[in-house]
Structure formats: structure tokens, C-alpha cells
Amino acid sequence: MAGVKSATAYNGPMANESNNKWDGIIVGASLATLDADSGYGGIEDGAMAWRGGCIAWVGRRRDLPGAPEELAREVVEGDGWITPGLVDCHTHLVFAGDRAREFEMRLQGASYEDIARAGGGILSTVRAVREVDEDELLRQSLPRALALLADGATTLEIKSGYGLDFDNERKMLRVACRIGEQLGVTVRTTYLAAHALPPEFAGRADAYIDEVVAWLPRLHDEGLVDAVDAFCEGIGFDPAQTRRVFDAARALGLPVKLHADQLSDLGGAGLVAEFGGLSADHVEHTSADSVRAMAASGAVAVLLPGAFHVLRETTLPPLDAFREHGVPMALATDCNPGTSPLQSMRQAMQLACTHFRLTPEEALRGATVHAAKALGLDDRGVLRVGQRADFVQWAIRHPSELGYWLGGRLARAVYAGGQRHLRFD
């Protein structure tokens, strides 16, 4: 097949030394390595080994330097296809309650802005989060993370932003960390206190930003913050207020990302580029100037087709401009209770193919290589020696099926750091 590659050898000690076997090897499946700028990087009848949580060998089974059982402690006979583990680089999955009633209201004609201005939207989830303790918040949130893992996501970004005071923002970030510990997957935490104006600060947005800036060093000192985000929008915070949050992040050496240009163009994506940020997310209304600025800075455009779908939006992100200027396009679920109750990265890929006309290859790269870049991670997203051994075995005949099927279970086994977390026989 096109794109078949020869073996890539492990450069350490020989794997067949009795005390130096690989931890495991999977043989027989086809590998979508994504280890090139284009194409799936397919290897038919492949073999992939791992040791110490990292990939130790990738290639064709026939090129192995010995019999699999002599090389590794565990040998897995595979079929179908193996891809890198999916990376969900934008979620709000830690929350309490739900907003199914608001979904019904939107279907009856209420807009996102109407609901938010009436005290619904984000603030209704804020009330629910404030009413529960940390253990209950974990209990309600963990099944959503498990659903993402079951459909192939081995790295999750989880935001705060439904607490909007110090104690509850801290509670959310602590729960996000506990999810990673319990599931054995990577969780990157993002501080999003500048998500909405809490009721106790009604009409005093600048005063609230003072608090957001003051809380950040305390939470960072506790090791709870990997990145900083804000909602730069007419119903959120303006560019000047967002800049203050970004300045506070930069003072601590923290990377920034942004809910940018979702409902209007306030120049949010350009602001991300100015700060050398990781990503601008949503980006439906991003201008040509901001696209060029993102390209120059290396920022990733994170597409969120779940919110686009649920809100029945019609303005597409500037996809052709992103392609023209070489801006990487990542995908994420935006899993949240109000505008994207989506618990599957594979479904996000399908929605992106349908609504945004991404190719299945673009969607898979967006859910792996580019999504990892949107989190500042360069140790995953491709099947390559030295990369983290996060991978998924899929019951498919071609990688394009990942962007094709609506629903169903395609993941046969999910590995994170070389450990098999889920297997479906």
C-alpha cells in the first residue's frame, strides 16, 4: 500500500538479552504511524514494541530482529489498525449537573446569548459546582473521562471555569488531577477562571479580573495549573481584560490559550499569537490578519465541531486560510454541559469531516499530532521510537473509518504509557 515504511530499530541494547527484553510487543496489525508530513504512514503486517512506557521499535513484523516471544515479555497478536492515542486538547468535563433543559430551550428558539443573559448557561453550572464537595464532583465527572478513554483518548486537557472563586476553581483543578491519577492517563490542567462573570461581581468585571490574577500564583504554587485560558467574547471578557490574565500567566512562565473568535471577531486569535500562545480555540470568526499572525507564531487552531453542531452555527472557521498559511488544525470535543455534551473524540472527528469538510486524514492528525502540539506536548501523537507508548488498536479495515462511522464501538484496546487500560473482546 502507499506509504508503507521500513522498520525503525531501537537504538539501545539488544532487546533479546535476557535481562533487557521489551515490556511488550504487538504484531500483525497495520500501523498508522502518522510519522510524516502527509499520509497515514501506513505499515502493513506491522510490529510495535514498548519498554518503560515508551515505544522501542516500529516496523514490519518480518523485519523484527528475532522471534517476538524472544524479544518481549508480552506478545499481543493484533489485527485491524493501530493509531497513536487520541488527544482531547479542549474539555470542560469536570462539572456537576447538566443543562439538558437549555438544550430544549435552544430548540425552541432561544440563542446562546439569550440563555446566558437570563442567568443560565455557564452560571447555572457554576451554581451546581459550588453546591457539591470534591468527592462528589469527581464522582460525577469521572464517567465522562472514562467514556473518552473508551473511545481512544489517552491524553485529556481539563479546564476549570465553573467555580469562579478561589476555593471552587481549586476544587475543579484538584478533581482534574485526580482523574488522571485514577485512570492512569495524562491530564493537562488549564486555569479558566476568566470564563464568566460570577454573580457576586455583577457589573464589576475589572474587579473580578483582579481576583483571577491574584488566585493564579497560589494555584500554580500548588502544582495545579499547566496553562491559562480565558473566554474573550462579548458575553465574556474583552481583549484588555484578557491581556491582563495573559500577562499574569507570562509572569509565571505559563503558556496561554484562548476561547477566541467564537461568536464575533475581537482579535482573540491575534492576541494568542502576540503572546506566543499554544492555541486559539473555536476560531469561527477569526480574521485573515489573525490567521497570518498565528502562522508566524506557531499557534494551533483548535476546531470544536461539537459546539458548532449543537449551536447550529453557520459561520465556518477560515479553514482554507489555515491550510494556505500552514496553521495546524487540531480537534477536540469541547466536552461541556451546555454547548457540546460530546464524550467521544472519534465523534468529534466525524463531525469535523461532515461540517468542516476535513479529510479523514486531517481529522486523525487533528486528533493526534496537532492536538498534542496544542498542549505543548512533543512526546506523543505519532508512532515513533522514543515517543510515549499511547496507542489504540481499532477494529477497522482502513484509518478513514475513524471519521466515517457514527457511533458504535471501534476501539479494541487502549494503551497509555504501555499499559493496557481497556480491552474489548
Annotated binding site: 90, 92, 99, 162, 195, 259, 262, 334, 336, 338-339
- Return the residue matching grid coordinates 481549586: 170
Summarize the annotated binding site for 4-imidazolone-5-propanoate as residue ranges: 99, 162, 195, 262, 339
Binding site, annotated residues for Zn(2+): 90, 92, 259, 334
Which cell goes with 126?
Answer: 457554576
Q: Reduce the DSSP state of residue 297 to 3 states and report it.
A: helix
Q: How far is CA 294 from the centre of its chain?
A: 19
Residue among 380, 356, 354 nearest 367 (CA): 380
With residue 190 as reference, give the H or E element that holds it: strand 186-194
Measured in residues, the chain has a length of 425
| Strands ordered across the beta sheet of 46-51 | 54-60, 46-51, 24-27, 75-77
Binding positions for Fe(3+):
90, 92, 259, 334
Q: Which residues sit in the known binding site for N-formimidoyl-L-glutamate?
A: 162, 336, 338
3-class DSSP string for 7-55: CECCCCCCCCCCCCCECEEEECCEEECCCCCCCCCEECCEEEEEECCEE
**Residue 387 buriedness (CB in 10 A; 0-12 / 13-18 / 19+):** buried
